[in-house]
Amino acid sequence: MKILAIESSCDETAAAVVQDGREVISSVVASQVEEHKLYGGVVPEIASRRHAEAIVPVVQQALDDAGLSLDNINAAAVTYAPGLIGALLVGVNFAKGLSLSSGIPLVPTHHLRSHIASNYISNPDLKPPFLCLVVSGGHSHIVKVEDYTKMKIIGRTRDDAAGEAFDKAARTMGMSYPGGIELDKTAEDGNPLAFKLPRPVVHDSEYDFSFSGLKTAVINLIHNSQQKGIELNKADVCASFRYAVVDCLTTNFFKAAQDYGETRLVIAGGVSANSLLRKTLSEECKNRGYEFYMPDKSLCGDNAAMVGSQGYYEYLSGNIADLSLNAYATMSIE
Ligand code: KG4
Ligand code: ZN
């Protein structure tokens, strides 16, 4: 079964053709990030306009790259939640038009479920059940993936998402949006123990995260030294901050795994590209005798291939929408 997938939840307009949920036939991503960099973050109005301009050529390119026409496509999967509402509406309305004109079924797909599904592409043997740490620019969740379309949230952030904390810390150090990747690279040359940063805990939950205090601590460290005219070693600050975030993420993830008896662990979302997170989990899972899976780095950020993968399993479970389908800025992964 061939699915044409469409993604427009934030600042990437993407389309892909995916076979049976696992094989990517084509994948096109048009990023708007260079334009949003000028403003230090995503400007929703600009994002919607750029999606509207890019959607037709991006979808056409995905079909051309696959050497297919709409006649060869069995269903259209589209991200309908969560994300920027104006951005999501571009993809949803385009997919509805496509479904109406061609008669192919319309499959609504949840953005975070798609991030998890990026693992089905990178790891052909991986099947639920497993425990997944979903860490992106907007969300940080520990999710019990009971089946392809059955999930339960075990832990979540109470304030900032991990990606958001990375981006804000990076911005304070003069790195351009989204700074998570540059912070990660800079941290490679630093000492993670150079600065003592807090490990915020949430008192009424062992699995929930809180990153806002940690983010404020690193911002204060930078501002205080600037006021005193002290130059901090940037690589050391990045390494200490990265270590603190990864420590919080992995501590709660392993605690949840232990308590729920899960021995197959998976990561997903933009922050799953983080080098230290990948390395720490790979090593620690090996020590504990757990299975560990992660998406290829090229599939960690927003793309439509992952939507085509999750869309396949949504289709199989009977999740098919009619033309009344709407987009939603927020929606639980459950
Ligand atoms: O999943 P994603 O592409 O978009 C959302 O759905 O939010 O995640 C984007 C986030 C950004 O905050 C970005 O800085 C972060 O993922 N990110 C990273 C790395 N690569 C991307 N954060 C830390 N280390 C990285 N290597
Ligand atoms: Zn995303």
Taking CA atoms only, the protein residue closest to ligand 1 atom 20 is 181
> What are the b/e assignments for 151-181, b being 16+ CB within 10 Å?
bebbbbbebbbbbbbbbbbbbbbebebbbbb
Q: What pLDDT is attached to residue 242? A: 98
Residue carrying the six token digits 């205080």: 224
Taking CA atoms only, the protein residue closest to ligand 1 atom 8 is 270
The token pair that represents 43 in the structure block: 């400007």
53 Cβ contact partners less than 8 Å away, ≥ 6 residues apart: none
Please state, in angstroms and rounded to a whole number, the distance separating the CA atoms of residues 280 and 299: 19
> Are 67 and 311 within 8 A, CB to CB?
no
Q: Which amino acid is at 331?
A: M
Please state, in angstroms and rounded to a whole number, the distance separating the CA atoms of residues 130 and 144: 6
> Are 181 and 298 within 8 A, CB to CB?
no
Taking CA atoms only, the protein residue closest to ligand 1 atom 3 is 301
> Are 114 and 27 within 8 A, CB to CB?
no
Compute the distance from residue 294 Cα to the ligand 2 centre, in Å: 15
Taking CA atoms only, the protein residue closest to ligand 1 atom 1 is 270
Please state, in angstroms and rounded to a whole number, the distance separating the CA atoms of residues 254 and 246: 12
Taking CA atoms only, the protein residue closest to ligand 1 atom 24 is 274
Please work out whether the CB of residue 273 comes within 6 Å of at least one atom of ligand 1: yes
Which ligand ends up closest to the CA of 304?
Answer: 2
Q: How far is CA 283 from CA 73, 131, 280, 291, in A?
A: 41, 17, 5, 11
Kindly report the backbone phi and psi dihedral angles of residue 154, in degrees, each rounded to the nearest multiple of 5, phi listed first. -100, -35
Q: What pLDDT is attached to residue 101? A: 97
Please state, in angstroms and rounded to a whole number, the distance separating the CA atoms of residues 60 and 57: 5
Q: What pLDDT is attached to residue 292? A: 98
Please work out whether the CB of residue 301 comes within 6 Å of at least one atom of ligand 1: yes
Q: What pLDDT is attached to residue 123? A: 98
Q: What pLDDT is attached to residue 182? A: 98
Q: What pLDDT is attached to residue 236? A: 98
Please work out whether the CB of residue 295 comes within 6 Å of at least one atom of ligand 1: no
> Are 308 and 77 within 8 A, CB to CB?
yes
All residues with CB under 5 Å from ion ligand 2 = 136, 302
Residue carrying the six token digits 């807090």: 198
The distance of Cα 248 from the centroid of its chain, to the nearest Å, equals 18
Compute the distance from residue 179 Cα to the ligand 1 centre, in Å: 9
Taking CA atoms only, the protein residue closest to ligand 1 atom 7 is 137
Helix (H, G, I), strand (E, B) or coil at 107: strand
The token pair that represents 290 in the structure block: 């757990």
> Are 207 and 132 within 8 A, CB to CB?
no
Q: Which atom of ligand 1 is nearest to the CA of 170?
A: 14
Kindly report the backbone phi and psi dihedral angles of residue 45, in degrees, each rounded to the nearest multiple of 5, phi listed first. -60, -45
Please work out whether the CB of residue 82 comes within 6 Å of at least one atom of ligand 1: no
Q: What pLDDT is attached to residue 272? A: 98
Q: Could you count the other beta carbons within 10 Å of the beta carbon of residue 78?
A: 30
> Are 303 and 95 within 8 A, CB to CB?
no
28 Cβ contact partners less than 8 Å away, ≥ 6 residues apart: 14, 15, 16, 58, 61, 62, 65, 304
Q: What pLDDT is attached to residue 125? A: 96
Task: For 121-161, write each residue's pLDDT tens digit.
Answer: 999 999 999 999 999 999 999 999 999 999 999 999 999 99
- Nearest of 249, 266, 250, 11 to residue 118 by alpha carbon: 266
Strands (E), the chain: 2-7, 12-19, 23-31, 75-81, 106-110, 130-135, 140-147, 150-156, 264-268, 291-293
Please state, in angstroms and rounded to a whole number, the distance separating the CA atoms of residues 170 and 215: 10
Please work out whether the CB of residue 138 comes within 6 Å of at least one atom of ligand 1: yes
- Nearest of 276, 332, 324, 284 to residue 93 by alpha carbon: 324
Which residues in the chain come in under a pLDDT of 50?
Answer: none
Q: Could you count the other beta carbons within 10 Å of the beta carbon of residue 223?
A: 11
Pick from 175, 181, 310, 333 the residue to mutate for probing ligand 1's pocket: most ligand atoms within 8 Å of its CB.
181
Helix (H, G, I), strand (E, B) or coil at 95: helix
Q: Which atom of ligand 1 is nearest to the CA of 273?
A: 26
Please state, in angstroms and rounded to a whole number, the distance separating the CA atoms of residues 133 and 129: 13
Q: What pLDDT is attached to residue 285? A: 98
